[in-house]
Amino acid sequence: MIQPNMDQLCINTIRTLSIDAVQQANSGHPGAPMGLAPVVYSLWQYFLEYDPADPLWPNRDRFVLSAGHASMLLYSTLHLAGVRMVNAKGEVQKELSVSMDEIKRFRQIGSRTPGHPESHLTTGVETTTGPLGQGCGNSVGMAIAGKWLAANFNRPGFELFDFRVFTVCGDGDVMEGVAGEVASIAGHLKLGNLCWIYDHNRVTLDGPANWSFSEDVMTRFIGYGWNVTRVADANDLPQLSRAYEYFLKHNDQPTLIVVDSHIGYGSPHKQDSYEAHGEPLGEAEVKLVKKFYGWPEDAKFLVPDGVYERFQEGVGTRGAEAHAKWKALFSDYAKKFPDLADRLCRMQHRQLPDGWDKNLPTFAADAKGIATRESSGKVLNALAQNIPWLMGGSADLAKSNKTNLTFEGAGEFFPDEFGGRNVHFGVREHGMGAAVNGMTLTGLRGFSATFFNFSDYMRPSMRLAALMEIPVMFIFTHDSIGLGEDGPTHQPVEQLAGFRAMPNMLVFRPGDANEVTECYKAMLQHTHGPSTLVLSRQAMPTLDRTKYAAASGVAKGAYVLADAAGGKPEVILMATGSELHLAVGAYEKLTAQGIKARVVSMPCWHLFEAQEAAYKESVLPASVTTRVSVEMAATLGWDRYIGPKGQSIGMHSFGASAPLKDLLKKFGFEVEAVVGVAKQTLGR
């Protein structure tokens, strides 16, 4: 039941806490929280099924603040709703996730209230937002996951999953391409569990939104296949309620609620204006605003009597009841369907099923060999049969990426057919990246796929996966000029160096089919960060592991594949991916000529860096300074391993459109060339 006075008091508490925190930090955006407080309050208080006492309850409604610059809006709400902290083991603590102290430490070092919401720091923050549009993308992945969970786990009489996903977004989000991509696919898939609330305040940072934005957003979303409704005044609680009810009744399509609001509502100078709304109000204006809200002008961080209780009566009580009902249902479910219940528990804790690595393919030595995209397809299919919640898809290149799950029962994820595991993202790389992050945040082991060159189109989402420490698998094929005739528009050069520079992103470039298997094992066991798997279009030899070292060395990131007699090489050849066999070929020739060589395979630099110094020294002894690296990519970064006396064979320009063998010759990726550089480095 709406209680006008009490609700207004709660809304103004959200506003003033946000204003005070921004003022104290002397940085941040107060305007959006002021304008949006009623929208978020009425959603949480009257509709969200969310238990603050157990914020990770699997069937909770998800609330995503895509407009991450309004972070104080979220922090104030989490605080007032009494959302508890959950520790790294997944145990709910007595402590609040966002205590008053944390609000006072907004934007300070080590606080749980950073400038933009970060999900790995703050319980109740469902995803990390800040780069506009990403939260919208994540929310579509969460909605996909919700539909998939319902299709796979619900049983007659056991509706375990029916959660909804709510996203608050602004003009900036709606302008971003990524949001357009995911809105398009959400409409196509008819994700009726998804609701975006668009804060139509007609301003962005630089000025009135109409300086740069005049399209008819409602018509655009109708075109995407969304239900669209409008609330003419963000302060009108009954109207907001009617809009949320409209969403709940229309679950055949996603819903967009356009809310007309005034940024910095109540601010005398900045009301309905675009001046400086990305800045603190200043002490004088803070007082005027508080006066407008009927607040004691000098009070700071004030939570009036009854406000906490009011949140408890609303979201707290409704969430606790829904959660208790769910728990009872789940306990019966676990008796009837113990295997499914076990799956859910493991998903929740990012664990894998027993036997997750059984029946993985091994590949016999073969001079002609196969492309790593081919071996990847086989390994991925074997793993997906062992791990029922491994799912994902490609941005319209599944046939080239070899990422289709082809075994019986894998199924497609289509509108009204939500049980399948092959998602067809269409030509929407950025949206795919953001959606796969959302799927992974919801417990799935998500993967995406496209050509490596198009990682540029999804890098912002990959970066957030790394920041969020979530185990997404980003699979890429066509990894170099080795793709041939498609030419330089499709041939990546600088991408490997770029991802190797990204914190917390494991980058794998396997050198033969058996290394592919080992890379997947390492990726799946890496639960607190994403992986980027970089695969070839062209075939490469499958190395004879009776002659050379076992591929299990991949687990250490780099390993000695072939060595000089007595383990005392004069020259070290280092390589990854399709160049590994060039290093091996050169090694054989050098050995035949009496030159003592070693080959080091380096599929994952990050893992190698994490090894103990003694291991690293055993692979790359400091005493051997004659070193050569071979990789069909920018050489940036190899200097770390070749040292001042070494040489890198790599790409120093864009590639070219030509048959593969001509490209290899033109750019110097042949065994003889490696032998030549090795000898030159040795001074012979």
Ligand X SMILES: Cc1ncc(C[n+]2csc(CCOP(=O)(O)OP(=O)(O)O)c2C)c(N)n1
Q: Which residues contact 391 (CB under 8 A, 6 or more apart)?
A: 148, 384, 405, 413, 421, 422, 423, 439, 444, 445, 446, 447
Question: Whose Cβ is closer to ligand X: residue 198's or residue 413's?
Answer: 198
Minimal CA–CA distance to 319: which of 141, 11, 82?
Answer: 82
In DSSP terms, 572 is beta-bridged to: 598, 627
Report in angstroms the alpha-carbon separations of 334 from 55, 328, 342. Answer: 21, 10, 8
Q: Which partner, Mg ion, ligand X, none, binds residue 205 by CB below 5 to 8 Å per kind?
A: ligand X
* Residue 278 C-beta: closest distance to ligand X, Å: 6
Q: In this chain, which stretch among 14-22, 101-109, 195-203, 298-306 interacts with Mg ion, using CB under 5 A?
A: 195-203
Question: Whose Cβ is closer to Mg ion: residue 258's or residue 558's?
Answer: 258
* Residue 431 C-beta: closest distance to ligand X, Å: 14
* Residue 369 C-beta: closest distance to ligand X, Å: 42
* Residue 56 C-beta: closest distance to ligand X, Å: 27
Catalytic residue among 118, 285, 429, 631: 429
In DSSP terms, 630 is beta-bridged to: 575, 649
Question: Whose Cβ is closer to ligand X: residue 171's or residue 181's?
Answer: 171
* Residue 465 C-beta: closest distance to ligand X, Å: 16
Applying CB under 6 A, does 459 fall inside the site for ligand X?
A: no
Q: Which partner, Mg ion, ligand X, none, binds residue 380 by CB below 5 to 8 Å per kind?
A: none
Task: Give the x/- contact pattern for Mg ion in 365-404, rule: CB under 5 A.
Answer: ----------------------------------------
Grouping H, G, I as helix, E, B as strand and the rest as coil, residue 255 is strand
Q: Which residues contact 540 (CB under 8 A, 6 or more apart)?
A: 369, 370, 371, 372, 511, 512, 577, 578, 580, 581
Task: Give the x/- contact pattern for ligand X in 265-304, rule: CB under 6 A.
Answer: ------------x---------------------------
Question: Whose Cβ is closer to ligand X: residue 240's or residue 522's?
Answer: 240
Task: Give the x/- contact pattern for ligand X in 12-41, rule: CB under 6 A.
Answer: --------------------x---------
Question: Whose Cβ is closer to ligand X: residue 47's or residue 265's?
Answer: 265
Q: Which partner, Mg ion, ligand X, none, binds residue 490 by CB below 5 to 8 Å per kind?
A: none
Minimal CA–CA distance to 671: which of 549, 573, 554, 546?
Answer: 573
Concatenating the DSSP letter of every residue in 536-588 gives -SSEEEEP-TTTS--GGGGGGS-EEEE--GGG--SEEEEE-GGGHHHHHHHHH
Q: In this chain, which stretch among 202-210, 572-580, 626-634, 644-652 interacts with ligand X, using CB under 6 A?
A: 202-210
Residues in 142-181 at the binding interface with Mg ion, rule: CB under 5 A:
170-171
Q: In this chain, which stretch among 40-48, 73-81, 201-209, 381-389 interacts with ligand X, using CB under 6 A?
A: 201-209
Applying CB under 6 A, does 208 fall inside the site for ligand X?
A: no
Applying CB under 5 A, does 201 fall inside the site for Mg ion?
A: yes
Residues in 506-565 at the binding interface with Mg ion, rule: CB under 5 A:
none
d(CA 256, CA 424): 23
The region that residue 334 occupies, defined by phi over 0 for left and psi between -120 and 50 for alpha, beta otherwise, is alpha
Question: Whose Cβ is closer to Mg ion: residue 171's or residue 176's?
Answer: 171
Task: Give the x/- contact pattern for ligand X in 234-263, rule: CB under 6 A.
Answer: -----------------------------x
Applying CB under 6 A, does 461 fall inside the site for ligand X?
A: no
Q: Which partner, Mg ion, ligand X, none, binds residue 187 by CB below 5 to 8 Å per kind?
A: none
Applying CB under 6 A, does 114 fall inside the site for ligand X?
A: no
Q: Which partner, ligand X, Mg ion, none, binds residue 130 by CB below 5 to 8 Å per kind?
A: ligand X
Q: Which partner, Mg ion, ligand X, none, binds residue 390 by CB below 5 to 8 Å per kind?
A: none
Applying CB under 6 A, does 130 fall inside the site for ligand X?
A: yes
Applying CB under 6 A, does 431 fall inside the site for ligand X?
A: no
Q: Does an H or E element contain 169, and which?
A: strand 165-170
In this structure, the number of other CB atoms found within 10 A of the CB of residue 519 comes to 29
Report in angstroms the alpha-carbon separations of 651 from 105, 128, 302, 627, 634. Answer: 48, 35, 61, 18, 5
Number of residues located near Mg ion, criterion CB under 5 A: 4
* Residue 262 C-beta: closest distance to ligand X, Å: 10
Applying CB under 6 A, does 52 fall inside the site for ligand X?
A: no
Q: Which of 2, 100, 205, 299 is close enough to bind ligand X by CB under 6 A?
A: 205
Task: Give the x/- contact pattern for Mg ion in 295-314, rule: CB under 5 A.
Answer: --------------------
Task: Give the x/- contact pattern for ligand X in 59-78, rule: CB under 6 A.
Answer: --------x-x---------
Q: In this chain, which stretch among 96-104, 179-187, 199-207, 621-629 interacts with ligand X, using CB under 6 A?
A: 199-207
Angle at which helix 134-153 crosses helix 459-468, to 10 degrees, equals: 70
Question: Whose Cβ is closer to Mg ion: residue 29's or residue 79's?
Answer: 29
Q: Which partner, ligand X, Mg ion, none, binds residue 674 by CB below 5 to 8 Å per kind?
A: none
d(CA 535, CA 576): 11
d(CA 277, CA 291): 19
d(CA 27, CA 240): 30
Q: Which of 149, 150, 203, 620 is close enough to bind ligand X by CB under 6 A?
A: 203
Q: Does an H or E element contain 37, and which?
A: helix 31-46
Q: Which amino acid is at 210?
A: N
Q: Which amino acid is at 196?
A: W
d(CA 104, CA 628): 54
Q: In this chain, which stretch among 167-175, 461-469, 557-565, 627-635 interacts with ligand X, using CB under 6 A?
A: 167-175
Question: Whose Cβ is closer to Mg ion: residue 170's or residue 637's?
Answer: 170
d(CA 370, CA 542): 7
Backbone angles phi, psi at 165, to 5 degrees: -120, 120
d(CA 141, CA 127): 11
Would you state the structure tokens that stand for residue 472, as one six-digit string? Answer: 């997404």
Active-site residue flag, 285: no
CB 280 within 8 A of CB 17: no
Q: Which amino acid is at 540?
A: M
Strands 227-231, 194-200: parallel, antiparallel or unpaired by DSSP? unpaired
Question: Whose Cβ is closer to ligand X: residue 69's or residue 318's?
Answer: 69
* Residue 460 C-beta: closest distance to ligand X, Å: 7
d(CA 400, CA 398): 5
CB 185 within 8 A of CB 246: no
* Residue 463 C-beta: closest distance to Mg ion, Å: 24
The region that residue 672 occupies, defined by phi over 0 for left and psi between -120 and 50 for alpha, beta otherwise, is alpha
Question: Whose Cβ is closer to ligand X: residue 138's or residue 442's?
Answer: 138
Which residues of the chain form contacts with ligand X (CB under 6 A)?
Answer: 32, 67, 69, 130-132, 170-173, 201, 203-205, 263, 277
State the catalytic residues.
429
Which residues of the chain form contacts with Mg ion (CB under 5 A)?
Answer: 170-171, 201, 203
